A and B are shown apart, each in its own frame.
Chain A
Amino acid sequence: MPTFGVLMIILSLTLMGSITWLSYLFSKRKIQSSDSYFTAGRNITTAFMTATFIAYAVGTGLIFSPGEMAYLQGLTSMIGYGLAISLSYIAFLPVSGRIKELIPEGNTIGEYAKVRYGNLMYVVVLFVSIVYMFCLLAANLIGAGIAFNYIGQVPIHIGVLIIGVPVIIYTTYGGLGAAIFTNGLQAILITPMLFITAIIAFKNSGGPVAIYSGIQEHAPEFLNVFNPSGMEFALMIIIAVSAAELLNQALWQRVYSAKDIRVVKKGLLSSSLMTFPMTIIAASFGLMAVAYNMELPHPSIATALMAHHLLPPWASMIFMMIVVLAATSTASDALAGFSSIASLDIIKSFMPNLAPEKAVFVGRISTIVFGVGAMLVAFKAPSILFLLLTADLVAAAAVIPVIAGLFSPNISGSAAAAGTILGILLGLPLFLNNQNLLSFTTAIIVSSAVIFAYAKISPAKFDFNKLKEHIKAVD
């Protein structure tokens, strides 16, 4: 193993050890009740809310996937990716207000689905949420694993373990509060580190004009605004990311954890603006790889490999620490999200009288099981983008039925479940056949058509007060 790889391991362990220790100190003081474990005491204010939205978005899904798409399809898809991440937070704005208004004491998206739609849709939403959380966690572990492997020649499973084990430890102990606290640390470290590495990479590559000339020489079609594959990808990713985020337990959990709705809205607006430049800068490494006509050993590694190629060793090490921070921030969010789903949705369904402290215990065990399962998948290192898009497609089929139920009383549970299942069944084969945009639009249009047609024929007349009556804080 080269010296760079050994140093990567030592620095990553030091960084993760420090974050885990600080998180432990924070959690030790703050966990006073089960509610503080699952919803961080419902007291999160603007700085942490903004940081947690940023750190959630800045996973390997932001560091690697936009670079991967820029490398494969060019500038339009890169801009599309930046817009997708920003617009998904804007799309969540009205939904977050409605969630806070209707379910002030909520804990999970599953309990909303159960009260609003009944058991069948509850199971469907749990399935969608768990698939999404699992793919998100695995994708982030893979991102770190392949970066360790291709940059430092560290075996993938070592990289995955270096990231996975500390995240599992601090999230298991501190729950959502630990995830949000560490997000605060990660966000404030990632931003200046990304700036430093990007500015050096631009300088060493000759600047934007030289990068542009390199793309023009090696892949001129990537500079075409209406490049068909780039346009298709841009549209698809905007739909995919927005659908996934609207249904994301991690985001719903943050709405519940906020002090008030103003905090959520301020956090969403700020992070929407802040994530756009971060995505574009991360993706620009993919374009640099095109300009340098670089051959890639793994589709997701464009960003990290190009950074390593352009940066001096100390700056390349900083970039690797960005990868570590990005992967751990989103991974802990996914783990905290799953912990609530497993304990408060799945186990509580079988044990309705589960005591609050037992719920925390179950949440902790579930975090470990889920984390270990995702690490086992990450050892195989499939494409990050493929994994995320599969999860996004499943979410796309469910998004309109779930979100429309917050606004319209006329949508019934059976129609919502039928629409979602039909959307997945029709969208998935198209997706596996590489008809990406068509698969997402099919999933959304079919599920929407089913629920709205059924609502017209047989309106459900749901009483929204039931949400407040049945959904209560854990303690």
Chain B
Amino acid sequence: MIYSSNFFSILMWVCLIGLIVDFGFQLWYNIVDFKNKSLW
């Protein structure tokens, strides 16, 4: 069984979009946590 070209393309694009989602979550978590004054 061979990985198809479509599967490979979808995997790559989904992972690229995943990086943007990752960054969005990291920003969101940081904004929420910034209120934790005892941490800073």
Q: Residues of A contacting B19 with CB < 8 Å?
A: 191-192, 194-195, 198, 277-278, 281
Question: Least Cβ distance of A51 to chain B in Å?
Answer: 6
A188 within 8 A of partner (CB) = yes
Q: Residues of A contacting B30 with CB < 8 Å?
A: 47, 51, 184, 188
A45:B39 contact, CB within 8 angstroms: yes
CB contact list, A166-213 vs B, under 8 A: 184, 187-188, 191-192, 194-195, 198-199, 202, 207-209, 211-213
Instruction: State which size class the interface on B falls in.
Output: 20 to 34
Q: Residues of A contacting B13 with CB < 8 Å?
A: 208
Where chain A touches its partner, the secondary structure class is helix
For A, the interface residue count at a CB cutoff of 8 angstroms equals: 39
* Total number of residue pairs linking A and B with CB closer than 8 Å: 101
Where chain B touches its partner, the secondary structure class is helix
A280:B26 contact, CB within 8 angstroms: no
0/1 interface trace, chain B 6-40, chain A, CB 8 Å (1 if under): 00110111111111101101110110111010110
A187:B32 contact, CB within 8 angstroms: no
B1:A209 contact, CB within 8 angstroms: no
A276 within 8 A of partner (CB) = yes
B3:A191 contact, CB within 8 angstroms: no
In the assembled complex, the Cα of A162 lies from the Cα of B38 at a distance in Å of 33
B22:A191 contact, CB within 8 angstroms: yes
- Given A199-B16, A212-B5, A277-B15, residue A43 in contact with residue B33 (CB < 8 A): no
Q: Residues of B contacting A198 with CB < 8 Å?
A: 16, 19
In the assembled complex, the Cα of A350 lies from the Cα of B39 at a distance in Å of 34
A281:B16 contact, CB within 8 angstroms: yes
0/1 interface trace, chain A 447-464, chain B, CB 8 Å (1 if under): 000000000000000000
In the assembled complex, the Cα of A48 lies from the Cα of B12 at a distance in Å of 28
B15:A48 contact, CB within 8 angstroms: no
In the assembled complex, the Cα of A402 lies from the Cα of B19 at a distance in Å of 35
Question: Least Cβ distance of B27 to chain A in Å?
Answer: 7
0/1 interface trace, chain A 31-66, chain B, CB 8 Å (1 if under): 000000000000111111011001000000000000
B2:A277 contact, CB within 8 angstroms: no
Question: Least Cβ distance of B36 to chain A in Å?
Answer: 5
B23:A192 contact, CB within 8 angstroms: yes
* Residue in B closest to A177 when the chains form the complex, CB atoms: B39
Q: Residues of A contacting B8 with CB < 8 Å?
A: 75, 208, 211-212, 223
| Cβ 8 A contact of A191, one of B26, B29, B39 | B26
B25:A270 contact, CB within 8 angstroms: yes
A225:B3 contact, CB within 8 angstroms: yes
Known: A75-B8, A191-B19. 11 other contacts (CB 8 A): A50-B26, A54-B26, A188-B23, A188-B30, A194-B19, A195-B23, A212-B5, A212-B8, A226-B1, A274-B26, A276-B18
In the complex, the 7 A-B pairs of residues with the closest C-beta atoms, listed nearest first = A277-B18, A47-B33, A47-B29, A277-B15, A208-B9, A195-B19, A274-B22
